[in-house]
């Protein structure tokens, strides 16, 4: 196990965090009534940011496979080690779930959703499938928001109470302890 994440892993972590938060901000409008032109334009913006997240997610999984993750502080009790691992894997699963449901839902949309010149509405339009997948997409969104809040609380705990390097290592994205 390494001492730290690589610089690329840290940069991807922060880029994904920023884009997902901005994308959630665009997507929170979808629950309410919207003018059709606004909905279609916002769908394209949301799906474009979602596809950038998809690319970063694939890169992140590859780097995690190649470089692994740093060792957790030896002072951490076993229940915290278990929770940290469980939380991180669940975050990966929820991101994958959001991406898969997002792309499939876009596939069944009634109008084109053009992302980098490609129309994502590639299946024939099906309102039932669209709404069914949309409720799963919404469920994954709520679950990931909850986990992001827990993740931020854990980062604050490591920094201010446990006073270990976990959070400060991730904050210093321009530096790594393992020369990668």
Q: Which stretch binds ligand HEM (CB under 6 A): 3-11, 63-71, 103-111, 168-176?
A: 103-111
Closest by CA to 30, choosing from 105, 93, 128, is 105
| Minimum distance from residue 16 beta carbon to ligand HEM (Å) | 8
Does 120 participate in binding ligand HEM (rule CB under 6 A)?
Answer: yes
Which of the residues 30 through 89 are near ligand HEM (CB under 6 A)? 30-31, 39, 43, 46-47, 50-51, 53-54
Q: Binding residue for ligand HEM (CB under 6 A) from 9, 141, 166, 176?
A: 141
CA 138, CA 67: separation in Å to the nearest integer? 32
Other Cβ atoms less than 10 A from the Cβ of 38: the count is 11
Residue 11 CB-half CA count within 13 A: 9
Rg of the Cα trace of the chain?
A: 18
Beta strands in 6-72 (DSSP E): none
- What residues line the site for ligand HEM (CB under 6 A)? 20, 23-24, 27, 30-31, 39, 43, 46-47, 50-51, 53-54, 98-99, 102-103, 105-106, 109, 120, 134, 137-138, 141
């Amino acid at each position: 196990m390494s001492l730290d994440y690589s610089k690329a892993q840290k940069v991807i972590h922060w880029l994904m965090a920023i884009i997902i938060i901005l994308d959630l901000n665009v997507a929170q409008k979808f629950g309410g009534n919207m003018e059709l032109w606004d909905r279609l334009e916002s769908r394209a913006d949301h799906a474009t940011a979602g596809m950038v997240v998809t690319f970063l997610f694939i890169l992140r999984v590859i780097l995690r496979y190649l470089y692994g993750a740093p060792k957790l502080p030896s002072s951490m009790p076993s229940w915290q080690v278990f929770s940290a691992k469980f939380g991180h894997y669940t975050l990966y699963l929820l991101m994958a779930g959001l991406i898969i449901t997002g792309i499939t839902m876009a596939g069944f949309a009634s109008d084109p959703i053009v992302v980098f010149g490609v129309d994502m509405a590639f299946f024939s339009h099906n309102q039932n499938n669209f709404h069914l997948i949309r409720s799963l997409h919404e469920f994954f969104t709520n679950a990931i928001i909850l986990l992001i809040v827990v993740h931020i609380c854990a980062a604050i705990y490591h920094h201010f109470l446990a006073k270990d390097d976990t959070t400060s290592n991730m904050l210093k994205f321009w530096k790594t302890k393992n020369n990668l």
